[in-house]
Structure 1
């Protein structure tokens, strides 16, 4: 798959939308100190709108206070999505109703407001979303509904997404797009089940080069163990919560990054 830009020239500015000047300065300072990103700050939704429409900075993600004086119901998230900018939400309170609002607005992640020490997960999330836009994921499932659901979740995390409705087509896609990093496959499919697909992939690609996550319905017994024994890196039971899906996919991508770094270091020492 081809990118409109490379990682070297990709947008690297984080838009911070936070009405507290103190809090916004703390967040900005931490992002600049701990990541590769620059920041711009808006203390109101209208300032955010102006920056999104007029800023010379290339904004790739927004960190948003959910409740602003001029946007008390998360409207700033909708504003950013209108401009194609993914959002990470900060909140001082949390309950199931607030969580539902996050998921309905397709936020990439959410965190509690806290001390400076609590911001490490936020920094990690920003780095992950930045990397995801250069990673291709292949979903394999004969259910159009399941494909659409997983595609949506992966696109919220900014992955490049490809689809196949059976194992044979999946292998064709892997030949056509060798830069695919992750395959997410169902078990029950025509022509070739998930186990056979995993074995086929593993005969050509090692687990530290191309990751696989198996997926199947609840009550499937030993399917999870069989997926793992056949070479999958992880397994998810359907139906799954969006947060679990995000966590497992992103953790798998982190392991691929770590293995690639170790391999590069080994090549240098050799």
Structure 2
């Protein structure tokens, strides 16, 4: 996934697909109040189809009611994905079957419908999705299947993703792409394992410039502690749930944003 668009030129409109006029108005008002995004409302899947196919306006994300009168089984999610628009789902009910449907459809995130206060995490998620498209990430694993899985999860969250099959190749990719700010690496790899990769990266970049998340299989004992002591920002045990992976990765990216903002503020005051 390659994205060369600048943040200034990127689409900033949220497509809200919600059949309740009251609910859509509340959601739109909250987004407009708390972000710099615009909103466009579709009150049915057919309205959304018309907007996606004919509107000159580009949407960076769609916020979708899971159960619409003309799309009772989440068909609006498939519609948006067909048009390359990532989807965040709103639902009044939740169970394991619904959760599986979200994951199978590569939904970015999902939230319960609730009060205005309940919308704060949703708004935060929209802001993260917007920022992720400008974050270049490197995933490192010698297993082709695991590498593809990590890449898929990262691309669902809209990151720009590069990949490497071991630590040596990862350092070469990092050398060619110095704007990489996030690395997710396995431990057990040929040529150079995850620990050595972390040490090499930390010799060049501090944790506030390039964040590293280690991953390894369950039962790996002290690997998590060793990753962290060698300079990783976080560690995830495999197998992991997609939601945990998204939360940890996005939290780490968010910390980089906070540090960058503090640094910019200090420089402006000097």
TM bucket by the smaller chain? over 0.9
2:2–2:160 contact (8 Å) kept in structure 1: no
Residue 143 of structure 1: aligned partner = 143
Q: How does 1:80-99 map to 2 (within 5 A)?
A: 80-99=80-99
Query: Does 2:255 align with 1:263?
Result: no
Question: How far apart are the structure 1 equivalents of 2:245 and 2:65?
Answer: 24
Query: What SS does structure 2 have at the residue aligned with 1:24?
Result: helix
Q: CA deviation at 1:148?
A: 0.5
Residue 53 of structure 2: aligned partner = 53
Residue 245 of structure 2: aligned partner = 245
Question: How far apart are the structure 1 equivalents of 2:23 and 2:153?
Answer: 30
Question: How far apart are the structure 2 equivalents of 1:4 and 1:69?
Answer: 38
Question: How far apart are the structure 2 equivalents of 1:182 and 1:195?
Answer: 16
Question: How far apart are the structure 2 equivalents of 1:60 and 1:212?
Answer: 27
Query: Does 2:190 align with 1:196?
Result: no
Residue 175 of structure 1: aligned partner = 175
TM-score (norm 2): 0.99
Query: Does 2:15 align with 1:15?
Result: yes
Residue 35 of structure 1: aligned partner = 35
Question: How far apart are the structure 1 equivalents of 2:110 and 2:2?
Answer: 30
Question: How far apart are the structure 1 equivalents of 2:74 and 2:176?
Answer: 41
Give unpaired runs (5+ residues) of structure 2: none
Give unpaired runs (5+ residues) of structure 1: none
Question: How far apart are the structure 2 equivalents of 1:268 and 1:15?
Answer: 35
Question: How far apart are the structure 2 equivalents of 1:45 and 1:269?
Answer: 49
> Structure 1 residue runs of 4+, over 4 Å off?
none
Residue 108 of structure 1: aligned partner = 108
TM-score (norm 1): 0.99
Q: How many residues align?
A: 270
Query: What SS does structure 1 have at the residue aligned with 2:142?
Result: coil
Deviations, residues 44-71 of structure 1 (Å, cap 9, x unaligned): 0000000001112221100000000000
Q: CA deviation at 1:3?
A: 3.4
Question: How far apart are the structure 2 equivalents of 1:203 and 1:259?
Answer: 19
2:212–2:232 contact (8 Å) kept in structure 1: yes
Q: CA deviation at 1:141?
A: 0.4
Query: What SS does structure 1 have at the residue aligned with 2:138?
Result: strand
Query: What SS does structure 2 have at the residue aligned with 1:7?
Result: coil
Q: How does 1:146-225 map to 2 (within 5 A)?
A: 146-225=146-225
Question: How far apart are the structure 1 equivalents of 2:11 and 2:4?
Answer: 12
Q: CA deviation at 1:153?
A: 0.5
Query: Does 2:87 align with 1:79?
Result: no
Question: How far apart are the structure 2 equivalents of 1:101 and 1:156?
Answer: 15
Question: How far apart are the structure 1 equivalents of 2:79 and 2:269?
Answer: 48
